[in-house]
A and B are shown apart, each in its own frame.
Chain A
Amino acid sequence: MLYKYFKKSIALFTFLIIWELLPASGIISKTFLSPPSEVFQALVKLIISGELWIHTSISLQRAFTGFALAVITMIPLGFLMGWYRAFEEISDGLIQAMRQVSSLSLFPVFLLFFGIGEISKIAVIFWGAQWPLLLNTINGVKSVDLLLIKSARSMGSNDISIFRKVILPSSIPSLFIGLRLSATHSILVLVAAEMIGATSGLGYSIKNWEFNFMIPEMYAAIVVLAVLGLITNYSLVWIEKKTVKWKEEI
């Protein structure tokens, strides 16, 4: 167990050491690349002053609201579209076209409609987060083993029962792929949106600190974002493992 963690961290530590040495040896100017030791100091300062929490909490709020809205609307919609073929056949063309519309290209449109406030940012995150959820849910429903449906029908299951006891559990693995992609997407869109049109949040801070030449602070914010991404992904993987106990380990 300990050995496993050791193996996993070798590359990470090597990376940190090279990162520390590059600016220290003067190969790369300290003005552009702050060494991890300084980034860490900046991070501690930002934590103590409470500034980091202000930006992180507002960012999390935006990302989570957009993501949650996508989850509650797109998962049910995905089930509907996967289950009723006719519904999907009608809407497929529209969906394929719409999902090609880049989230960020729509941000000015959302700004126009909703102003610079929270709604425009949540809307653009929602837009980016919805597609992986919708498409993976549809895919999960459509890839259910027809033999299982046949088998359930032979044991007297009606449509509702088949949906609840066959379609739903069998689409859960695909659903989790959608959740993870969509969560990653939420953070990505969040940062870009905050850089373009916000006065708070981690995305705004990265741009703002770069602008004011607070380079260690800028790197600290980037690190925080990476850690947030890691935490999100691993918690979803953990929930998936708890939910999908029955799946064969690959």
Chain B
Amino acid sequence: MIKVKAEGIIKEFPNKSGGGKSVAIGGIDLDIMDREFFAIVGPSGCGKSTFLEIVAGLIKPTSGSIYIDGARITGPDHNRGIVFQGYALFPWRTVKGNVAYGLEEKGVPVFEIEKICRDYISLVGLSGFENHYPHELSGGMKQRVAIARALAYNPDILLMDEPFAALDAQTREILQTEVLRIWNETKKTVLFVTHNIEEAVFLADRIAVMSGRPGVIKKIIEVQLSRPRHEEQRLRQDFMKLRHDVGMLVREEANVI
């Protein structure tokens, strides 16, 4: 069953200097299946984050449409949750306050919010930190809060925009495993944008490689690695071969830019 359908997505931005416009996305058609873990990789500036924000409804495409469960989207809605690279936590709200935000906006009754927050904070492994403010947390913990916040109002689709790019290598690997566990427990459809090829191979069912300027999808690769994924798989031949192949595709593009 198709969960997200992108049809002829084109995005142009007016040039900052003088007239004319540059094409950020030059026509993307894509189907993401229900409960699929779908990754997009590509060199920086290829438009992958722009595409994710179009799916989120935060940016309107110049032409083309996004359909979710067959219905055309017109803006952000509670069927999608988004996690940004920069955490985007509200510094004046505690961990619990941040997780509650989407629930408040959705109009969930206060007494239910309390319980849901507790569940999702526990899901991301932050029980005991409910009343901490973001500045008291490490980068990895902040991103856990951001994940809990995006999931708390129970969207079908989780959009992740280079969520672990700002973290150190160790924390990143821990959170990758965590995301797989959470994905497995919550049965969401995930669209995951990254420039880290190993990350995409480790996480995804399918990987779309984007080429830049204008951004189009060059190739979609099926990841045939067994699930559930384990850390040890990173060292196996099939993993490394796949990482190499995807890497070559991306590198060709990086040279063009």
Q: In the complex, which of the residues B91, B93, B106 contacts A156, with contact meaning CB atoms closer than 8 Å?
A: B106
Q: In the complex, which of the residues A147, A155, A244 contacts B101, with contact meaning CB atoms closer than 8 Å?
A: A155
Please determine whether B84 and A150 come into contact, CB atoms closer than 8 angstroms: yes
Given A154-B58, A154-B76, A156-B76: A148 and B81 within 8 A (CB)? no
A85 to chain B, nearest CB (A): 17
* Contact of B86 with A by CB under 8 A: yes
A51 to chain B, nearest CB (A): 47
Please determine whether B101 and A152 come into contact, CB atoms closer than 8 angstroms: yes
Give the interface residue-count category, chain B.
Answer: 20 to 34
Given A147-B84, A151-B84, A154-B56: A246 and B92 within 8 A (CB)? yes
Write the chain A residue with the least CB distance to B88.
A151
Alpha-carbon distance A57/B78, docked complex (angstroms): 56
Alpha-carbon distance A152/B106, docked complex (angstroms): 12
B32 to chain A, nearest CB (A): 18
B115 to chain A, nearest CB (A): 19
Complex interface: chain A residues within 8 A of B106 (CB): 155-156
Q: Nearest 7 A-B pairs (CB), nearest first?
A: A151-B88, A155-B102, A248-B135, A156-B105, A246-B92, A169-B92, A154-B82
Residue contacts A-B, CB under 8 angstroms, 26 given: A145-B88, A147-B86, A147-B88, A148-B88, A148-B90, A150-B58, A151-B82, A151-B84, A152-B101, A153-B58, A155-B76, A155-B81, A155-B102, A155-B153, A156-B77, A156-B78, A157-B105, A165-B90, A165-B101, A166-B90, A172-B92, A244-B92, A246-B91, A246-B92, A246-B93, A246-B94
Task: Give the B-binding residues of A (Cβ under 8 A).
Answer: 145, 147-148, 150-157, 161, 165-166, 169-170, 172, 244-248
